[in-house]
Chain A
Amino acid sequence: MATANFRIWRGDAKGGQFADYQTEVAEGMVVLDAAIQIQGEQAPDLAMRWNCKAGKCGSCSAEINGNPRLMCMTRLDQLPLDQPVTIEPMKAFPLIRDLATDVSWNFRAKKKIKKFNPRPPDHEDGTWRMDQQDVDRVQEFRKCIECFLCQDVCHVLREHDLHEEFIGPRLIVYTAALEMHPLDVEQRVGDLKNSQGIGYCNITKCCTKVCPEDITITDNAIIPLKERVVDEFYDPLNWLLRLFKPDDTRTP
């Protein structure tokens, strides 16, 4: 049976290095199969995450040959196997060990986004009627599997480490799903501008490129929300109107 070489990052926050492994490969194998095989046979303490193995849970995010990918959806026959396949942890989050990073910030930041707030039920049976096309409009955002690869490549988080000022593409997608939800009546645009730093995004679209669910993050989520921030806070007419609405707490 054919073999392939893998260079896997081993180490923790204090430091580490690549370790080389050779393992058997078969038709149709994905990077995660190889990593699990290496773990089972050669490196039982190799730290990594995975669950569904089918691109649905978003656990096995890593950087494969430098590209942020899900290990379970990256086929070995799409990689050049004449050289070692490198597998590294995501860089935008603190390293725990080997391929496992501390992604808990994403969960904490999400909690600060105002939750779903539906309008009162519009039907006598206590439920709502919705059109399929209104539902379809947000399904793209609700497909997100929270793999955090978009956060990983966002230079605001990755290079500038602005986790406290900017919520990142994943959570803007989450906000977009709420803001465009057919029933939701909450206001989140002020927070996006102020505490959540949507202005930091300069639309390089790296997040869109790496999304394993093919969500058009920049064009469909970030840009429309940026436009709403502009409409609300920088449109002269709106600005004037706000002067006469003292109970509006959204400060420009």
Chain B
Amino acid sequence: MAQYEQYEHDVVVIGAGGAGLRAAIEAAAAGVSVGLVCKSLLGKAHTVMAEGGIAAAMANVDERDNWKVHFADTMRGGQYINNARMAELHAKEAPDRVRELEAWGALFDRTQDGRILQRNFGGHQYPRLAHVGDRTGLEMIRTLQDHGIHQGLDVHMECTIIALLKEGERVVGAFGYDRERGRFRLFRAKAVVLATGGIGRAFKVTSNSWEYTGDGHTLAYDAGAELMDMEFVQFHPTGMIWPLSVRGILVTEGVRGEGGILFNNDRKRFMFDDIPDLYRAQTTDDPEEGWRYTQGDQDARRPPELLTRDHVARCIVREIREGRGSPHGGVYLDISWIKEKLPNAAEHIQRKLPSMYHQFKQLANIDITKEPMEVGPTTHYVMGGIRVDADTQMSCVPGLFAAGECAAGLHGANRLGGNSLSDLLVFGQRAGEYAARFAQEHDGGKINEEQVEAIAQWALEPFARAESHTDGANAFQLQYALQEHMQDLVGIVRNEKDMASALDLIEQMKKPAANISVMGNREYNPGWHTGLDLHNLLTVAEAVTRSGLFRKESRGAHFREDFPDRDEALGKVNTILRKGPDGEMQVTQETIPDMPDELKQIIEEIR
């Protein structure tokens, strides 16, 4: 029999970034006992990396802003396959969630009259992002963490969940191991909230850390929940590209929000060459007007650098492919040029973008106040995820909730910058509230010992193989191979042939991935952990690829060179994935629910 330590909570939250922490705080406030499980140390989750800000229509800088404009912007950015109810709730509730953060101690930059300052960002019609320089994510996660530790949460740091436990249809707990000793832990729970973030590690060039292996996506999928819109992976247009070792590290959109421009090796601002119809009315073709927009001129239209991320990333790829790239295979992003406009530009840049200044100075020997940066797209975010109810965030598995990046719906085909942090707060809060309610209305379930035994055995097999000298593969090398395939074949520009071969390669990798062997023992052994994560990575890689093959059109972040246009019929459906009876991944489509007239009208009015 497998040995494990047992814990019991009303609600178990898996993941302690913005969404997980916010969910845990809310559930605890409802009076239930809460366990918060995090893969790393508390406060290190990817939220810490968020730079630009939190989108919320507070109208502190431009009084024309309101939830309706934010809603319309989010839907337009997502190319209308978003869940409209989620976009509505998000736009309405984000301002309160931001003000609540302030009441918990967060300190945002201020307007002249002392209110929270808001900045411009791609796809947002008005300055909308509450921010602290370019380290908003750190401010947010630290505020939630420091508030959360006084709310009676039981925090399980450095603990990885490898399976959800079920009784019949319902979720009744989670099973995992602690990194330090490698001992198994069983969490009994009446409700479980998944807040595990993204899948960036399925790709080679990514802004995501080692943790983002699609754990929540896979846990939910294996437990019978549906995944939705997994073809939509956001490639952030501006990642570092040189030196090679920093490739993929994020360069905030805030650089462009503060007036930064993109140009190619002819010093041409190529973003002016291609402005999509959907945004023509809001975008200027005059550089001078664009500059005025970034400096707060309310009559100016935005510069094309602030178009949505999917579009900017594709324009960058076009420049590189057509031979107009920078020496290391990117394009130039320049904020130093603003010295032509501002007397104290260097100081201004350092104050507005301190961590960018620091990052380039230290890692690339580049002073961004004096010279342009070289940038290129990096895998950043997955719009797709666990399909949830818009109001409660519960999946189709009773008792299983999801919030934040691992949940789907809000962002549709492309997420706007700044909408992620607000997503974490709004739907983290909702998931926490409804998970607590579910826990109050239900008794604890019964743990299936056989299921636990089977998982424990599966998790320990790599050691057994090493002992019996069966030659298993090295988990790290398998992971690198998968990342190469996904980057090459299911990246920014996709086609049928490439994705079909990706699917073959993924299929071929399943066997070696199930047969890795691990050196050393169970104590803090990253080789082992990476091996167990492979199952998740392969699952999400397959999900992205199958969904990508299914959607024979180009929309938002999903661009197919063999189907370069939007398809009206596919614009009315979401892609749904379910695990079939024999473990096979089934792809279907479901019609997007009809939007209430009131919301339709908003979209019509705000063009």
- Interface centre among B244, B250, B526, B528, by most chain A C-beta atoms within 10 angstroms, is B526
Tell me how far the C-beta of B389 lies from the nearest C-beta in chain A, rounded to whole angstroms: 30
A50 engages B147 (CB within 8 Å): no
B20-34: which residues lie under 8 A (CB-CB) from chain A?
none
Q: Does B115 contact A (CB under 8 A)?
A: yes
Given A116-B104, A129-B114, decide whether A28 and B246 contact each other with a Cβ distance below 8 A.
yes
- Kindly state the separation between the CA atoms of A132 and B114 in the bound complex, as whole angstroms: 7
Report yes or no: B139 in contact with A142, Cβ–Cβ below 8 A: yes
Find the B residue at minimum CB distance from A108.
B149
B525 proximity list for chain A (CB < 8 A): 44-45, 47
Residue of B nearest to A72 (CB): B363
B249 near A53: Cβ-Cβ < 8 Å: yes
Chain A residues, Cβ within 8 Å of B146: 110, 115-116, 174
Q: Would you call B139 and A110 a contact (CB within 8 A)?
A: no
Cβ-closest chain B residue relative to A116:
B105
Nearest-neighbor residue (CB-CB) of A30 within chain B: B245
Size range of the chain A interface in the assembly: 35 or more
Q: Is the CB of A139 within 8 A of B133?
A: yes
| CB closest chain-B residue, reference A33 | B245
Alpha-carbon gap, A46 to B527, bound state (A): 8
The reply to whether A132 and B364 form a contact with Cβ atoms under 8 Å apart is: no
Q: Which of B35-43, B271-279, B434-442 contacts A (4 or more CB under 8 A)?
A: B35-43
Q: How far is the CA of A220 from the CA of B249 in the complex (A)?
A: 31
Task: Give, as a whole number of angstroms, the nearest-CB distance from A135 to chain B.
Answer: 5
Asked whether A27 is an interface residue with its Cβ less than 8 Å from the other chain, the reply is yes
Contact code string A174-198 (vs B, CB < 8 Å = 1, else 0):
1000100111100000000000000
Count, A-B residue pairs, CB within 8 A: 171
Would A110 and B43 count as touching, CB distance under 8 A?
Answer: no
Other-chain contact of B250, A54, A100, A104, A121 (Cβ < 8 Å): A54
Contact B363 A50 (CB under 8 A): no
8 A Cβ contacts from B340-363 to A:
355, 358-359, 362-363
What residues on A are CB-neighbors of B138 within 8 Å? 56, 142-143, 145
Docked-complex contact B209 and A100, CB < 8 angstroms: no
Contact of B107 among A127, A135, A174 (CB under 8 A): A135
Contact A44 B107 (CB under 8 A): no
Chain A residue at smallest Cβ distance from B143: A116
CB-CB contacts of A20-56 with B at 8 A, as 1s and 0s?
Answer: 0000001111100100000111001111111111111
**Most-contacted residue by chain A among B147, B157, B249 (CB, 10 A):** B249
| Subset of 21 A-B contacts with CB under 8 Å | A28-B244, A28-B363, A28-B364, A29-B245, A40-B474, A45-B521, A47-B523, A51-B45, A51-B211, A56-B49, A56-B137, A56-B138, A97-B524, A107-B41, A111-B150, A115-B147, A116-B104, A126-B99, A135-B109, A142-B138, A143-B135
Interface residues of B (CB under 8 A from A): 40-46, 48-49, 99, 102-105, 107-110, 113-115, 132-133, 135, 137-139, 142, 146-147, 149-150, 155, 157, 180, 209-211, 242-246, 249-250, 355, 358-359, 362-364, 474-477, 480, 518-521, 523-528, 530
